A = this chain, B = another copy of it.
Amino acid sequence: MARNRDENKRKAILQTSKLLFAQKGFFGTAISDIVRETGMTVGTIYTYFSSKDEIVHAIVEEGWSELYSRLERDLGAAVSPEDKLRLLIERFIPEVVKDVDLISILLSEAVTYTRLEEKIERITDLVFSLTRSLAAGNRPLEAFTRQTLRTAIVVIFLGIMSTVRIARASSLGISNRDIVSVVKVLARESLRIDL
C-alpha cells in the first residue's frame, strides 16, 4: 500500500476546524483547540495540513466548490432562463444560507485566505448572464445598465451572506426563510419576474 493517509481523518479535521473557525474566528481558534476537539494530536494535524492557513484554505475551497458544482449541475438540468432563475433562488440560496459556518469563514477576518472576490466574480458572471437572457423586452431589467446589474447582484449576494452571518451571531430576529422571501420579492418587484 502506497499511502496510508486516512481520508476520514482529513475530513474530521476539516469539519471540526470549520465549526471552530466559524464560532471563534480564525485568530480565536488555536491549533490546540482543533487538537482537543478532534481528539487527535498536533502531529497528526500537521501530517494532513502543513499550516493553519492551509486548513482554512481547504475548508473554503472545498466547501465552496462543492456548493458551486451542485449549482452548475442543477442549472444544467433546467432549460428556460426562468426555470434557472427559480432554481437559483429557491434551491441554491437556501442551500448556501444553510451553511452559516462556511459563510462566516468566508466573510471573516481571514478574508486574505479566502479569495472571496474570485467566488463573487464567478457567481456574479453566472447570474448576470442568466439575467441578461431575461432582459429582452423586460422594461425594468433594461433600466439596469450592465454595471448596475452586476453591482446589484454583488450587493444582494453579499447582503444575504452578511445577514446570515450576523443573524447567527446575534439576535437580529431574521430567519433564513425571511432572506429567501426577500430575494423573491426583489426579483418579482424589480425585475417583474414572477417566480
Q: Which A positions have Cβ atoms within 8 angstroms of B?
A: 2, 25-28, 43, 107-111, 116-117, 120-121, 140, 143-145, 147-148, 150-152, 154-163, 166, 169-172, 174, 178-179, 181-182, 185-186, 188-191
Are B109's CB and A148's CB within 8 A? Answer: no
> Are A117 and B190 CB-contacts (below 8 A) given A163-B154, A185-B152?
no
Cα distance A32–B156 in the bound complex, in angstroms: 38
> Are A158 and B166 CB-contacts (below 8 A) given A25-B109, A189-B140?
yes
CB-CB under 8 A from A117, the residues of chain B are 166, 169-172
Residue of B nearest to A118 (CB): B170
Are A147's CB and B109's CB within 8 A? Answer: no
6 contacting pairs across A/B (C-beta < 8 A):
A27-B109, A116-B170, A140-B189, A148-B185, A155-B159, A162-B162
Pick from B109, B147, B158, B171: contact of A108, CB below 8 A: B109
Are B28's CB and A147's CB within 8 A? Answer: no
Shortest CB-to-CB span from A28 to chain B, Å, is 7
CB-CB under 8 A from A189, the residues of chain B are 140, 143, 189-191
CB-CB under 8 A from A26, the residues of chain B are 27, 109
Shortest CB-to-CB span from A71 to chain B, Å, is 20
Cα distance A166–B118 in the bound complex, in angstroms: 11
> Are A2 and B186 CB-contacts (below 8 A) given A109-B109, A158-B166?
no
Are B152's CB and A182's CB within 8 A? Answer: yes
CB-CB under 8 A from A179, the residues of chain B are 151, 155
CB-CB under 8 A from A191, the residues of chain B are 189
CB-CB under 8 A from A111, the residues of chain B are 166, 169
